[in-house]
């Protein structure tokens, strides 16, 4: 199944809001780690130098990944200013074909 890199950019001044809702956000992402799901989240984590995060997902297509992430609590509370989904083709490492 294809891989996708998802880039989240967090909105300005959303630190406290994200802190409040982080447990629900992380639980949501953990649920997407179920290999039986249509979209499987392989890895997630915040950037250390800018307000945002990288998610690596596996799914049938970009639209399916976007639909799965439409339920992210961070999106519903307005903490995500921008979300970009890119097809990704790793050439080395554990996810390389």
pLDDT for residue 1: 87
CATH code of the domain in which 83 resides: 3.30.70.1060
Whether the per-residue pLDDT at 54 is higher than 90: the answer is yes
Task: Write down the pTM of the prediction.
Answer: 0.92
Question: Within a domain: residue 69?
Answer: yes
Whether the per-residue pLDDT at 97 is higher than 80: the answer is no
Question: Within a domain: residue 16?
Answer: yes
Within a 10 A sphere around the Cβ of 19, how many other Cβ atoms? 9
Q: What is the pLDDT of residues 4-50, one digit of tens each?
A: 999 999 999 999 999 999 999 999 999 998 888 899 999 999 999 99
With CA atoms as reference, report the closest residue to 2 among 41, 65, 63, 60. Answer: 60
Is residue 80 within 8 A of residue 11, CB to CB? The reply is: yes
- Which two structure tokens, joined as six digits, stand for 85? 């989904």
């Amino acid at each position: 199944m294809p891989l996708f890199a998802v880039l989240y950019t967090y909105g300005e001044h959303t630190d406290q809001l994200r802190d409040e809702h982080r447990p629900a956000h992380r639980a949501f992402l953990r649920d997407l780690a179920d290999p039986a799901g249509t979209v499987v989240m392989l890895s997630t984590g915040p950037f250390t130098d800018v307000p945002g995060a990288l998610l690596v997902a596996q799914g049938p297509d970009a639209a399916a990944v976007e639909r799965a992430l439409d339920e992210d609590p961070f999106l519903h509370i307005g903490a995500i200013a921008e979300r970009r989904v890119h097809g990704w083709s790793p050439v080395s490492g554990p996810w390389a074909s």
